[in-house]
Amino acid sequence: MQRLRWKIVGHGLALLATLVLGGLLSATLVRLAPGFDSDERELDPHLNAQSVQALREARRRDDNIFYFYLSYMKRAKSGDLGTSIAMGQPVRTLLQQRIPLTLRLLGAGLGLAWILALTLSLTTAWLRLSIYDAVTTFASAALLCLPAAVLALLSVLWNIPGAIAIALIVFPHTYRYARNLLGKAYSRPHIVAARARGVGEGRILFWHVVPVIAPQLLALAGVSVSMAIGASIPVEALCGLPGIGQLAWQAALGRDLPLLVNITILVTLVTLLANSSADVIGHMLRRQDV
Amino acid sequence: MRLGRTIACVVLALMFGISVAATWLAPAGYARQYREAIDEPPSHAHWLGTDDLGRDRFARVLYGTRISLLLAPAAALLSTFMAALVGGLAGYLGGAWARFAMAVTDLFMSLPWLFLLITVRALMPLNVSPFVSVLVTFLLLGLLGWTTAARVLCASASSLRSADFVRQARAAGVRGSRLFWVHVAPNLKPVLFAQFWISIPVFILSEANLGILGLGVSEPMPSWGSLLKELEGLVSFGAEPWKFLPLALLVVVVTSFQLLLSRQEELPA
């Protein structure tokens, strides 16, 4: 129990450190990015010399990276994440509007990918037919050779929902790993012996296979969240779905750096939380197994 | 499997050969516009038709293949070098340096790959010359794609550090850079080689993703990514099948690399 507590504390500290460091790194990159010092509002003929000077003064304060980041953190604490340059709206409002759709898309996509991967890898392990294994492996390898953006384009062409496109992007990675894990687990001597004695497949799966592979599968679940978030960018951008992925793409095209920094921090937080949760639950399962 | 690898080698050699010979096979170049033949289907004059700006699609595919096929290995070389530097040294030195290097690696890995790419790409100027955009795209791939390889190399170097022959060399008085370059680095070669091969298809696919999203190589320079962007305007799968040729080439090349990778996996680490 003590070790588990320390593990949770360690993950929490790592999360905090990564957020602070990641935020500082993003702020530094934003500050050093070409074009940061220029403001196209200065070209507005309606502004007089004093207004232009005021704009320059406001920017000069951001010259110091640490000041820039500290003031950002202070504002963030009170819920002010800044204003998007390209869209002219508060970043917080933009994120609030788009998070629900992305969550639904990721949830459905990940669910489908996992159902497909586990079903195919389990049937491969049960059937032990080389032709079936070859067909499923070929299908997953073919999907691995397609860029995520092409799958998104094809989903638009064939009127397939975005969640299925995300599932097809994530599926080959999860399937390959799950298939190997199950293959190894089912070739263990005690499972071969149990099968030879006629023990039911369901009993073997839930009593002997799942406890062994659960921690690794959980780790893969954590990684698959990160994969799905990456996949959401081309899927949302090309399928016209107004989620966080599309927002990130629009921010990148418009070089909307304040928005991009906030999305970066949000995505880092989500992926780290997913990986840390998977690690902690996996640790708990291993303890129960011991 | 051996037959598969032989076919993969032949296909890759053929593709490299054709892409290098693009200058002779399509002497008109990738940017020349045939204004009297805009968005034409395949014909004797234009084997794969022309795009919406009247440029010969066959020439663009050849030159695009050259850019994607020659620069992806260059980016892979850069990322492998970075991985060797960060991961290899971290594993060899161990202690606080290893912890710090792996913390930085984790920081990079906590962001999804495509997300990291578009974020950093957005920090670079987007309205640059086509040649600079090619360099920026592939440099980014090389400079950001080292993290997974660094983790693998760190683990390999760490296990080598406590290997018997390294201990024996240390006991014989071999120290510092000589110990690393003579005894550790040569044993990391198979891992480095495997990581190099693994990176190439990943970078080809990443460039294609960036290109389709409009964050890759700038016009008029072609690459597989920018050529695949044409698929965005398709209304049905069978309407203009010749537009799928860049995709078919990409799939063939990535599959060939995957087949060769299975050979790398069999090599002793």
Provide the pLDDT confidence category of residue A37 given band limits of 50, 70 and 90: low
Query: Percent of chain B having pLDDT more than 70?
Result: 97
Name which residue leads in pLDDT, A74 or A177.
Answer: A177
* Residue-level pLDDT at B107: 76
Residue contact A145–B114, C-beta within 8 A: no
> Is a pLDDT exceeding 60 seen at residue A143?
yes
Query: Percent of chain A having pLDDT more than 90?
Result: 38
> Is a pLDDT exceeding 70 seen at residue A34?
no
- In tens, the pLDDT along A45-73 reads 777 888 888 777 766 666 666 777 777 77
Query: Percent of chain A having pLDDT more than 70?
Result: 89
Task: Provide CB contacts within 8 A for A55, sequence distance 6+.
Answer: A39, A41, A42, A47
- In tens, the pLDDT along A114-132 reads 999 999 999 999 888 889 9
Residue contact A148–B209, C-beta within 8 A: yes
CA gap A30, A59 in Å, rounded = 13
Residue contact A275–B110, C-beta within 8 A: yes
Neighboring chain A residues of B68 at a CB cutoff of 8 Å: none
Residue contact B119–A272, C-beta within 8 A: no
> Is a pLDDT exceeding 90 seen at residue A236?
yes
> Is a pLDDT exceeding 60 seen at residue B138?
yes
Which whole number is the average pLDDT over B221-232? 90
For residue A20, the chain B residue with the least C-alpha distance is B107
For residue A24, the chain B residue with the least C-alpha distance is B107
How many CB contacts within 8 angstroms connect chain A with chain B?
125
Question: In chain B, which residue ranges form alpha helices assigned H by DSSP?
Answer: 2-20, 22-25, 57-83, 89-93, 95-109, 113-123, 130-144, 147-161, 164-171, 176-178, 185-212, 224-228, 245-266
Provide the pLDDT confidence category of residue A147 given band limits of 50, 70 and 90: very high
What tokens appear for A289 in the block? 């197994």
Name which residue leads in pLDDT, B66 or A7.
Answer: B66
Which whole number is the average pLDDT over A102-111? 96
* Residue-level pLDDT at A287: 61
Query: What is the average pLDDT score of chain A?
Result: 85
Query: What is the average pLDDT score of chain B?
Result: 87
For residue A275, the chain B residue with the least C-alpha distance is B110
Neighboring chain A residues of B110 at a CB cutoff of 8 Å: 18, 22, 226, 268, 271-272, 275
> Is a pLDDT exceeding 80 seen at residue B223?
yes
Residue contact A230–B232, C-beta within 8 A: no
Pick A237's closest partner by Cβ from B213, B225, B258.
Answer: B213
Which whole number is the average pLDDT over B126-144? 86
Provide the pLDDT confidence category of residue B267 given band limits of 50, 70 and 90: very low
Which whole number is the average pLDDT over A132-152? 92
> Is a pLDDT exceeding 50 seen at residue B268?
no
What tokens appear for A220 in the block? 């893969």
* Residue-level pLDDT at A87: 84
pTM for the whole thing? 0.87
CA gap A194, A131 in Å, rounded = 25
* Residue-level pLDDT at A66: 73
> Is a pLDDT exceeding 80 seen at residue A285?
no
Distance from A176 to chain B by nearest Cα, in Å?
Answer: 14
Chain B positions touching chain A (beta carbons under 8 Å)? 103, 106-107, 110-115, 118-126, 201, 205, 208-209, 212-215, 225, 228, 231-232, 234, 236-237, 247, 250-251, 254-255, 258
- In tens, the pLDDT along B118-133 reads 888 877 777 788 888 8
Respond yes or no on whether the N-terminal peptide bond of residue B220 is cis (omega within 30° of 0). yes
> Is a pLDDT exceeding 60 seen at residue B265?
no
Q: Which of A24-28, A29-33, A78-82, B61-65 has the highest mean pLDDT?
A: B61-65
Residue contact B118–A227, C-beta within 8 A: no
Neighboring chain B residues of A14 at a CB cutoff of 8 Å: 106
Instruction: Give the ipTM.
Output: 0.88
Reduce the DSSP state of residue B10 to 3 states and report it. Answer: helix
Provide the pLDDT confidence category of residue A247 given band limits of 50, 70 and 90: very high
Provide the pLDDT confidence category of residue A36 given band limits of 50, 70 and 90: low
Residue contact A231–B214, C-beta within 8 A: no
| Residue pair B95/B159 in contact by the 8 Å Cβ criterion | no
CA gap A113, A136 in Å, rounded = 14
Neighboring chain B residues of A148 at a CB cutoff of 8 Å: 114, 205, 209
Distance from B224 to chain A by nearest Cα, in Å?
Answer: 11
> Is a pLDDT exceeding 80 seen at residue A255?
no
